[in-house]
Amino acid sequence: MMMRAETPLAPNQWIAMIGGGQLGRMFCFAAHALGYRVCVLDPDADSPAGRVADHHLQADYEDAQALAWIAEHCQAATTEFENVPATVLDALAKHMPVRPGAHAVAIAQDRIAEKTFLREAGVDTALFAAIRSEADCDAVPETLFPGILKSARMGYDGKGQVRIHDRAQLREAFASLNRCACVLEQLLPLAGECSVVLARDANGAMVCFDVFENHHEAGILATTIIPARLPNAIGLRAQAMAQTIAAKLEYVGVLCVEFFVLADGRLVANEMAPRPHNSGHLTIEACASSQFEQQVRAVAGLPLGAAAAIRPAVMLNLLGDTWQAGEPDWSGVLSLPHTHLHLYSKASARVGRKMGHITITGASLGEALSRARHCAQALGLPAPQ
């Protein structure tokens, strides 16, 4: 049976963005380009998204007055990070479409729920065990050693993660994480990492970006490359697995699934992000429609855009470490051809804090990589290989 297309939001209507970070900021730019107004809810008076939004509600995410303002003025809502209380999304859903919905966000908020869901969806993950008590530490099978203990909630960019080699280290690591609920994952022999970003609309139509090749430093994304230098079969498998996940979740919006590529060629899902993703930033210059435009389209009920890559690209993440010797030489960086600088207007540069990114394009991947290496050298960043 053919599903009836929904009526898209008209220009000048309001979309609520829950969260005020850089992802919300880039969403605002895309929403404005399509004629929408954006209200950002974030407690930070100087949040990157709040500074460019049409209206900034400086309040806690659960603030009753702020939520009442959104319910009265906005026609749709979305989020830029997964740690918004799911109850907030449920409350707003009584008044407007909320994309993604609370159910999908709640699963992504908890690594135990996430790993369990992925397994039930038929998607391979690392072997894992839920750790909620000392008794769980004693009960895990020896096959999970060596492993990585990860806090079930609020961990990102390598935070809340401890590598362990045996049961004694597991007990110590569990104590160091304040005995909060955790997941112990078997350590895998990795050959690489990649991610798939897709958009899905309310009728179930999906578009996938090409697979992104990712490289991390100290648990934080450093470089993303498109096209990914992976066998075509692996890329197709990754896209198919991400689409399976989105369909099982009945997801609406932009979803990222991160994958490990194992030394034996197997592909396992690492985690999912119910929002645009750091690895997808290069879609702004490299693809027909960016991940942020796709998010606006999905939230507003517009047809999804084409996701095809139109040129090779390399994205370099800019952390606060880059500022430790003073303001970087942006003029020198921008003198390099086909170099696109995005700074997030954060007030202070701290070590490990995401401050911006640079996307470098080229007529070929070799050309883009060569330019990216010059750019990385000028900024003291790890050079893409």
Instruction: Note the pLDDT of residue 48.
Output: 97
Instruction: Note the pLDDT of residue 60.
Output: 97
Q: Are residues 227 and 177 in the same domain?
A: no
Nearest residue to 17 (alpha-carbon basis) of 82, 68, 77 = 77
Give the tokens for residue 103: 């159910």
Domain extent at residue 200: 190-379
Give the tokens for residue 84: 């918004």
The helices-and-strands tally (H runs, E runs) of the chain is 12, 17
Q: Are residues 165 and 197 in the same domain?
A: no
Q: For residue 330, how many other CB atoms are within 10 A of its CB?
A: 14
Helices 232-249 and 111-120 cross at an angle (nearest 10°) of 110
Q: Are 39 and 70 in contact (CB under 8 A)?
A: yes
Q: Are residues 153 and 134 in the same domain?
A: yes
Instruction: Note the pLDDT of residue 78.
Output: 98
Q: Are residues 133 and 243 in the same domain?
A: no
Q: Are residues 208 and 232 in the same domain?
A: yes
Domain for residue 194, yes or no? yes
Give the tokens for residue 175: 């104590």
Q: Are residues 204 and 267 in the same domain?
A: yes
Instruction: Note the pLDDT of residue 156.
Output: 62
| Measured distance CA(126)–CA(146) in Å, rounded | 12
Q: Are residues 70 and 156 in the same domain?
A: no
Residue 360 DSSP code: E
| Distance from the first to the final alpha carbon of the chain | 49
Residue 275 DSSP code: S
Instruction: Note the pLDDT of residue 2.
Output: 41
88-92 own/partner pairs: CB under 8 Å, 24+ apart: 88/18, 88/61, 88/62, 89/18, 91/67, 92/16, 92/67
CATH of the domain at 62: 3.40.50.20
Q: Which residues of 184-220 are buried (b: 16+ CB within 10 A; e: fewer)?
A: bbbebeeebbbbbbbbbbbeeebbbbbbbbbeeeeeb
| Measured distance CA(191)–CA(229) in Å, rounded | 12
Q: Are residues 255 and 195 in the same domain?
A: yes
Q: What is the pLDDT along the chain (385 residues), one digit of tens a residue?
A: 344 567 999 999 999 999 999 999 999 999 999 999 999 999 999 999 999 999 999 999 999 999 999 999 999 999 998 889 999 999 999 999 999 999 999 999 999 999 999 999 999 999 999 999 999 999 999 999 999 999 998 766 557 789 999 999 999 999 999 899 999 999 999 999 999 999 999 999 999 999 999 999 988 999 999 999 999 999 999 999 999 999 999 999 999 999 999 999 999 999 999 999 999 999 999 999 999 999 999 999 999 999 999 999 999 999 999 999 899 999 999 999 999 999 999 989 999 999 999 999 999 999 999 999 999 999 999 899 8
64-73 own/partner pairs: CB under 8 Å, 24+ apart: 66/41, 67/41, 67/91, 67/92, 69/39, 70/16, 70/39, 70/41, 70/95, 71/95, 71/96, 73/14, 73/39
Q: Are residues 340 and 235 in the same domain?
A: yes
Q: Are residues 327 and 201 in the same domain?
A: yes
Domain for residue 120, yes or no? no
Q: Are residues 80 and 218 in the same domain?
A: no
Q: What's the pTM value of the predicted model, to 2 decimals? A: 0.95
Instruction: Note the pLDDT of residue 3.
Output: 46
Number of structural domains, the chain? 3
Nearest residue to 282 (alpha-carbon basis) of 365, 380, 218 = 365
Domain for residue 264, yes or no? yes
| Measured distance CA(180)–CA(6) in Å, rounded | 43
Boundary residue ending a domain (83, 98, 113): 98
Q: Are residues 285 and 199 in the same domain?
A: yes
CATH of the domain at 364: 3.30.470.20
